[in-house]
């Protein structure tokens, strides 16, 4: 079993608690001094950073949501001046209500460190060739993978998520040993290889590191069998670095959270009360090492469970269970977070009023398909056929532009769907 | 090895240390950085028992040493080199070292004390040359060496160093820091170091803490503290420009 930083990854729970306390206190002192939003919410709770004696004091603090982040758009949540920020990213979640995340030089190096731990844990070393088939854009995903892979000395191919045939050609010619992508793209590669009658065993592929969307054990089984690789999960979100927050070790028994950088909690998403160890609920994360964009008790919206028992791999950092569902209406489609609010904003802009709609997502042939069904009303009913068609086309165009891939738009009669359910996810992950 | 949890300390009514938590692992050099009056010296004095702990816990080797007396702590292996080279100026170098080795004399006798001093002389040849001289007549750098040597006489495992470079010429400072680094390497000595000269301290340190008005605001690897803009601006004297608004 290889470790990138054995001293930290295998330290005792006592040491972890000490480090977390120190870093948490330092972070609270910094955000209280530098970020107006934190100063305000701390004062509202009558909490001073020096009041923090233990984690029970910590639970007095309110949560941070994505809404808070977008209210402070663009730079008000930054804990350092902008001139110290070397990288800016935005989360994919909602361009209508955007948020900006900054990284200092040290943040980027922590990120590289985290990804290096992830890769080393899986078994990847400097002898490997890493093909990054994630979209290089304004979200963080591929950049963290790149700095991490370069840190361990592997060769990086910044391929981006592009044509499958090109991916396969590069994979064969460059003798790629590690594929980093969404599971959807990997499944696409499997199909493509079957179509062109290519035996994956002729490739040099050994590992697959997949993330940025939920994927089932079944998918893992298919990928491992058909591509002849070891497939592991990696978890993260742009608000907290991106990938590298938690990852699977070869035991494939939960994802290790880097506890020297994050403090995880599980809460009840309705009552917001902390839940006892081992129960399932919403994952809340606090970053204790970030300089530019520290988050205190950030509600991820992901449903998980924490296991503090030591792992057979020797790592002492706790594990979260793999994430298959969310506790809000946000759905991850083709590796991108989509919220009904975001769709609703487009619909109301185009139709000049908020229609009743439902988003349905299905997975056919391993690829997510999204359908937006809209109830017919005065807003979108026209006497003229041509006008009607043009209206639907316009919606289709605007939504597809927003998301970057084709969305099906349907006008349906009232009563066709249950209007209280805005999102219908027909995919199965477990 | 050393662990502080939520330590608070007061001078009269003035709250100096506000919930300070930190740790020093075996064999590490840890630097504690901060401006004047931030609470650096108070932190060291609190660890070595010279300053009472109002609230919080201090552990040494897993043992709770909160509120233990300074002399007991010296016996446990914590030596404190205070700021400003506080020697017995009107006594000879040799006598000063003997005083530093009082516990060795008490437990192992004069013979052991003598051989310990000889050992110190091997490491500090300059002190051997000046063994009969009054400590007050030594140069600043030599006095600092003597102060460190005195602390080493008690065979410590943790050395608390308060501003070893204060008032010394840059060349001498280099020697002193070199000495601290070799002590860590040869003797497996653990060092907690306070320093105004942040650049020099971070060069030899493994990790560092930044303290501001009695509160720890940063904990990082030394190399990363050097690239932290805030530290640069405040303690390394490079950046001067104001914050972007």
CB contact under 8 A, B22 and A22: yes
- Measured between beta carbons, the chain A residues lying within 8 angstroms of B18 are 50
Query: pLDDT at position A245, please?
Result: 93
Contact B216 A33 (CB under 8 A): no
Is the CA virtual torsion A339, A345, A350, A355 positive or negative? Answer: positive
Q: What is the mean pLDDT of residues A306-335?
A: 88
ipTM of the complex: 0.81
Give CA–CA dist B131/B119, Å, rounded.
13
Answer for the pair B231, B198: CB distance below 8 angstroms, yes or no: yes
Residues of B in contact with A82 (CB under 8 A): 244
Q: pLDDT for A183-235, tens place per residue? A: 888 988 998 999 999 999 999 999 999 988 888 888 899 999 999 999 999 99
* Inter-residue contact B68 to B49 (CB < 8 Å): yes
β-pairing verdict for A306-307 and A319-320:
antiparallel
Q: Name every residue in B having a CB less than 8 A away from some CB of A.
A: 3, 5-6, 18-19, 21-23, 209, 212, 215-220, 224, 227-230, 241, 243-244
- Residue A278 burial (10 A CB sphere; 0-12, 13-18, 19+): exposed
Whether B198 contacts B204, CB under 8 Å: no
Tens digit of each residue's pLDDT (9 = 90 or more) over A355-408: 888 899 888 777 788 999 988 888 778 888 888 888 889 989 988 888 878 889
Please write the tens of the pLDDT for every residue from A172-184. 999 999 999 988 8
Distance in Å, alpha carbon of A296 to nearest chain B alpha carbon:
15
Are residues B227 and A29, on separate chains, in Cβ contact within 8 Å?
Answer: no
Question: Which residue of chain B is at minimal alpha-carbon distance from A52?
Answer: B19
Specify burial of residue A276 (Cβ count, 10 A radius: 0-12, 13-18, 19+). exposed
What burial letters (b/e) apply to A397-426, b meaning 16+ CB within 10 Å? ebbeebbeeebebebeeeeebeeeebbebe
With a pLDDT cut of 90, the percent of chain B lying above it is: 33
Q: What is the pLDDT of residue B240?
A: 44
What separation in angstroms does the CA of A325 have from each of A20, A216, A398, B218?
Answer: 28, 11, 27, 36
- Pairing of the two strands A423-425 and A357-364: parallel
Which residues of A have a CB under 8 Å from any CB of B? 15, 18-19, 21-23, 25-26, 29-30, 33, 49-54, 80-84, 104-106, 109, 291
Pick from B23, B215, B229: CB nearest A84: B229
How far apart are the C-alpha atoms of A256 and A309, rounded to whole Å? 11
Q: What per-residue confidence (pLDDT) applies to A208?
A: 95
Local confidence band at B245 (pLDDT 50, 70, 90 cut-offs)? very low
Of B18, B215, B227, the CB nearest to A106: B227
Per-residue pLDDT at A93? 53
Determine the distance from the C-alpha atom of residue A334 to the mean position of all C-alpha atoms in its chain, rounded to a whole number. 12
- pLDDT at A249 (0 to 100): 92
Q: Do A18 and B21 touch (CB under 8 A)?
A: yes
* Cβ <8 Å between A18 and B217: no
A61 and A45 Cβ atoms separated by less than 8 Å:
yes
- Nearest-by-CA chain B residue for A32: B217
How is A263-303 classified by DSSP, letter by letter? Answer: EEEEE-TTT-PBPPTT--EEEEEEESS-SSS--SSEEEEEE
Q: Do B21 and A104 touch (CB under 8 A)?
A: no
Residues 6 or more apart in contact with residue A142 via CB below 8 angstroms: A132, A134, A135, A136, A158, A160, A180
A80: nearest CB among B19, B21, B229: B229
| Shortest CA distance from A26: residue in chain B | B217
Instruction: Give Cα separations from A259 to A13, A75, A117, A123, B12 (angstroms).
Output: 10, 27, 12, 21, 38
Is residue B243's pLDDT more than 80?
no
Within 13 Å and on the Cβ side, how many CA atoms surround A225?
6
CB pairs under 8 A between A and B: 63
Burial of residue A184, with CB atoms counted within 10 A of its CB: 0-12 exposed, 13-18 middle, 19 or more buried: buried
Q: For residue B224, which residues of chain A lie inside 8 Å, CB to CB? A: 106, 109
Among partner residues B22, B217, B229, which is closest to A29 by beta-carbon distance?
B217
| Of A309, A279, A316, residue with least CA distance to A3 | A316
Contact B23 A49 (CB under 8 A): no
- Say if the Cβ atoms of B23 and A19 lie within 8 Å: yes
Q: What's the DSSP call for residue A132?
A: E
Tens-place pLDDT, residues B126-179: 889 998 999 889 888 889 889 999 998 888 999 999 988 888 888 888 888 888
**A241-255, A335-349, B183-197 — most confident range:** A241-255
The answer to whether the bond into A410 is cis (omega within 30° of 0) is no
Dist CA A391 CA A382 (whole Å) = 9
Confidence class for position A267, pLDDT limits 50, 70, 90? very high
Residues in B closer than 8 angstroms to A84, CB to CB, are 229-230
pLDDT tens for B171-198 read 888 888 888 888 888 888 999 999 888 8
CB < 8 Å to B215, chain A: 25, 29, 49-50
Most confident of A93-102, A329-338, B149-158: B149-158
- CB-CB neighbors (< 8 A) of B5 in chain A: 18, 21
Angle between helices B140-152 and B110-123 (to 10 degrees): 140
Signed CA dihedral, B196, B201, B202, B206: sign only: negative
Comparing CB atoms, the residue among A18, A54, A82 nearest residue B244 is A82
- Which among A65, A58, A69, A73 is positioned nearest to A298, based on CA atoms? A65
Contact B30, B12 (CB under 8 A): no
Does the beta-carbon distance from B241 to A83 stay under 8 Å? yes
Distance from CA of A341 to the nearest CA of B (A): 32
How far is the C-alpha of A50 from the C-alpha of A52, rounded, in Å? 5
Q: Nearest chain B Cα to A106, which residue?
A: B224
């Amino acid at each position: 079993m290889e470790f990138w930083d054995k001293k930290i990854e295998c330290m005792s729970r006592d040491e972890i608690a000490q480090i977390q306390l120190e870093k948490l206190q330092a972070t609270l002192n910094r955000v209280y001094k530098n970020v107006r939003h934190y100063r305000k919410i701390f004062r509202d709770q009558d909490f001073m950073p020096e009041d923090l004696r233990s984690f029970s004091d910590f639970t007095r603090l309110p949560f941070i949501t994505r809404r808070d982040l977008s209210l402070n758009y663009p730079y008000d949540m930054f804990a350092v001046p902008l001139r110290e920020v070397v990288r800016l990213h935005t989360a994919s979640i909602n361009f209508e209500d955007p948020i900006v995340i900054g990284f200092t030089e040290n943040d980027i190096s922590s990120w590289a460190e985290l990804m290096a731990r992830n890769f080393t844990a899986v078994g990847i070393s400097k002898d490997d060739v890493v093909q990054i088939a994630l979209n290089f854009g304004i979200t963080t995903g591929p950049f963290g993978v790149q700095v991490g892979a370069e840190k361990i000395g592997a060769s990086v191919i910044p391929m981006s998520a592009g044509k499958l045939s090109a991916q396969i050609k590069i994979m064969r010619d460059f003798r790629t040993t590690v594929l980093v992508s969404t599971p959807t793209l990997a499944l696409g590669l499997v199909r493509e290889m079957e179509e062109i009658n290519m035996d994956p065993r002729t490739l040099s592929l050994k590992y697959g590191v997949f993330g940025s969307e939920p994927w089932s054990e079944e998918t893992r089984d298919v990928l491992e069998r058909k591509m002849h690789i070891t497939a592991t999960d990696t978890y993260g979100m742009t608000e907290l670095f991106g990938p590298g927050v938690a990852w699977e070790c070869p035991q494939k028994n939960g994802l290790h959270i880097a506890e020297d950088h994050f403090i995880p909690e599980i809460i009840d998403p309705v009552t917001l009360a902390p839940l006892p160890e081992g129960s399932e609920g919403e994952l809340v994360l606090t970053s204790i090492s970030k300089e530019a964009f520290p988050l205190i008790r950030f509600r991820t919206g992901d449903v998980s469970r924490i296991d503090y028992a030591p792992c057979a791999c020797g790592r002492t950092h706790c594990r979260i269970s793999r994430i298959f569902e969310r506790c809000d209406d946000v759905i991850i489609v083709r590796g991108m977070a989509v919220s009904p609010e975001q769709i609703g904003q487009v619909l109301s802009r185009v139709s000049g009023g908020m229609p009743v709609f439902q988003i349905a997502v299905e997975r056919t042939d391993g690829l997510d398909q999204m359908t937006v069904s809209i109830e017919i009303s005065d807003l979108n009913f026209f006497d003229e056929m041509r006008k009607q068609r043009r209206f639907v086309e316009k919606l289709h165009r605007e939504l597809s532009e927003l998301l970057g891939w084709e969305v099906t738009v349907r006008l349906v009669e009232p009563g066709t769907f249950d209007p209280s359910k805005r999102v219908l996810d027909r995919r199965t992950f477990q | 090895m050393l662990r502080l949890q939520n330590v608070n300390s007061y001078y009269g009514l003035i709250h100096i240390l506000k919930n300070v938590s930190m740790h020093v692992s075996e064999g590490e050099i840890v630097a504690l950085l901060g401006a004047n009056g931030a609470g650096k010296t108070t932190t060291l004095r609190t660890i070595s028992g010279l300053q009472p702990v109002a609230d919080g816990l201090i552990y040494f080797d897993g043992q709770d040493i909160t509120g233990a007396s300074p002399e007991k702590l010296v016996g446990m292996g914590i030596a404190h080199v205070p700021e400003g080279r506080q020697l017995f100026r009107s006594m000879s170098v040799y006598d000063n070292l003997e005083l530093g080795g009082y516990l060795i004399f008490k437990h192992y006798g004069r013979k052991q004390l003598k051989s310990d001093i000889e050992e110190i002389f091997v490491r500090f040849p300059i002190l051997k040359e000046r063994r009969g001289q009054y400590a007050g007549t030594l140069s600043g750098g030599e006095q600092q060496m003597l102060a460190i040597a005195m602390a080493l006489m008690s065979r410590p495992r943790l050395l608390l160093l308060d501003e070893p470079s204060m008032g010394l010429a840059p060349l001498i400072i280099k020697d002193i820091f070199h000495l601290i680094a070799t002590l860590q390497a040869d003797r497996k000595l653990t060092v907690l170091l306070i320093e105004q000269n942040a650049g020099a301290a971070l060069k030899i340190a493994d990790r560092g803490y930044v303290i501001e008005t009695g509160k720890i605001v940063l904990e990082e690897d030394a190399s990363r503290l050097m690239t932290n803009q805030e530290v640069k601006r405040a303690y390394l004297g490079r950046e001067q420009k104001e914050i972007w608004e």
